[in-house]
Amino acid sequence: MVESDAELDLRDVIRAGHVSAIVGELKSGKEATVHLARGPEGLLVVKRYRPFTGRRVHTDPIYRQGQVFRDREARAFERRTRFGRRLAAETWIAAEFATLRRLGRARGLPVPRVLARVGACVVMEFIADEPGGEGPAPRLIDAPVQSSEARTLHAQIMLAVIGLFERHVVHADLSPYNVLLPAAALPPGGSESSPRRRPILIDFPQAVDPRKNLAARDLLAHDVAQITAFFRRLDPAVSDNDLAARLWRRFESGLI
């Protein structure tokens, strides 16, 4: 029986020694399918990108601003040829891996730890719903969130946005659909009345550098607005205090 492209790609990850087995599929989206896998030290995630078939064809140039391509590559992008679509997919895979690897070096940022890239696959940390668990953490859009938590969780995500921006990264597609919200973990010496939930930001292929991308200001404002609107529905007192504008002023002043 002939193996599918997906099966071949996942087999390459196993052959490379990063995982020993693919356990199952966690999520399937427009750009990629996320698989649960077993690695040498426990569960991992393998994110496999599908061939670029024209999705985001109108918006992809926005995210590519500031990237340098040879003339042939630029023409292929513009004409959306088979080579251009393949190159577009390669660009997004490489961008997510490079961005997560760079952010991972800055300790404390709430992003998954990336381990390796094999072809169309990126191997990264598995974010469990609870410490040591085997169930995946839900997305913010799917997680039970109380109105009493809204301001705290919103503040944590805004701090993450600041942390990214200080390292010249704008997520550029931030929403409740690409923030994971694991169940609360008890702090050391804590009690069940004082648990902490820590949002984790995911999905970085479209992330942009404000030093190179002219759309970064609008993308940053959109990120902040999307998250703020979600939490404001739970608690009308939630406010971003013009965070995007304040960050951009600091950027233009050379403070970031």
Among 24-28, 34-38, 82-86, 148-152, where is mean pLDDT lowest?
Answer: 82-86
Tens digits of residue pLDDT in 173-197: 999 999 999 986 544 554 454 457 8
Instruction: Work out the mean pLDDT of the chain and round it to a whole number.
Output: 85
Of 101, 116, 123, which Cα lies nearest the Cα of 169? 101
pTM of the prediction? 0.84
DSSP state at residue 127: -
Residue 61 pLDDT > 70, yes or no?
no
Superfamily of domain 138-256, CATH level 4 = Transferase(Phosphotransferase) domain 1 (1.10.510.10)
Could you tell me the two tokens for 32? 């990629």
Residues facing residue 33 across a β-bridge: 28, 48
Query: What is the 8-class DSSP label of residue 142?
Result: T
Strand partners, 51: none
SS3 136: strand
Mapping DSSP to helix (H, G, I), strand (E, B) and coil, where does residue 18 land?
coil
pLDDT of residue 45: 97
Q: Per-domain residue ranges for the chain?
A: 1-126, 138-256
CATH superfamily, domain 1-126, is: Phosphorylase Kinase; domain 1 (3.30.200.20)
Measured CA to CA, the distance from residue 66 to residue 29 in angstroms comes to 27
Surface-to-core class of residue 71, CB atoms within 10 Å of its CB (0-12 exposed, 13-18 middle, 19+ buried): exposed
- State the Cα–Cα distance between residues 147 and 150, nearest whole angstrom: 5
CA distance 245 to 61: 24
Q: Is the pLDDT of residue 52 over 80?
A: no
- Check: CB of residue 200 under 8 Å from CB of residue 156: no
Pairing of strands 114-118, 32-39: unpaired
Higher local confidence (pLDDT), 180 or 73 = 180
Confidence band of 219 (pLDDT split at 50, 70, 90): very high
Q: Are 10 and 122 in contact (CB under 8 A)?
A: no
Pairing of strands 42-49, 114-118: unpaired
